[in-house]
Amino acid sequence: MINTYQPAMLDYSQQEREQLSEHFTLKEMVRSATAARLGLKNTPDDLAIYHLRLLCSHVLEPLRRRFGVIRITSGYRSKPLNDAVGGAEFSQHRYGMAADIYVPNAEVGKKMYDFIRTKTDFDQLIYEYRKKTRTHWIHVSYNPERNRKQAFMKYIME
């Protein structure tokens, strides 16, 4: 008789419906147009999911309570996805510790940036603006071992 035992595992569709916090799901934290376009898997391991839960509860939930629904444009990134988008080799996105947040305009972006900076515990906070496309976003990370409270604004002139 051949042993066909397989350990019980959540399939990806079950896993992506998983709630990370009251208002955030794993699905929205792994969603990526680039991964879909290139056919890349973007499935976090248990440690990355743990980090995403912390990021959601310590930073994203307080931000949502203050500003209403927020849109995550980039959360967890697998190594192939991170490479495809030109992310840093040891980007906190790769470990589930970072998210990029859509900012509709400079006024809202500044208010969100100031709120995160003064009201939450975070590791790194960057308000980014790309002049060529006139797009704004906020990168924020949370590290369970040490939050440096690094905050700055970055203007990309290209």
Please give the pLDDT value at position 15.
Answer: 60
pLDDT of residue 77 exceeding 50, the answer is yes
Which pLDDT tens digit goes with each residue over 105-114? Answer: 999 999 999 9
Which pLDDT tens digit goes with each residue over 121-157? Answer: 999 999 998 888 888 999 999 999 999 999 999 877 6
User: What string of DSSP letters covers 46-113?
Assistant: HHHHHHHHHHIIIIIHHHHHHHS---EEE----HHHHHHTT--TT-GGGGT-EEEEEESSHHHHHHHH
Average pLDDT over residues 64-86: 96
Average pLDDT over residues 2-26: 65
Q: Quote the CA–CA distance of 79 and 138 in Å, as a whole number.
A: 21
Please give the pLDDT value at position 144.
Answer: 94
Contact 79, 43 (CB under 8 A): no
pTM tops 0.85, yes or no: yes
Please, what's the b/e burial string for 119-149 (b: 16 or more CB within 10 A of its CB; e: otherwise)?
A: ebebbbbbbbbeeeeeebbbbbbbbeeebee
Structure tokens at 143: 């590290």
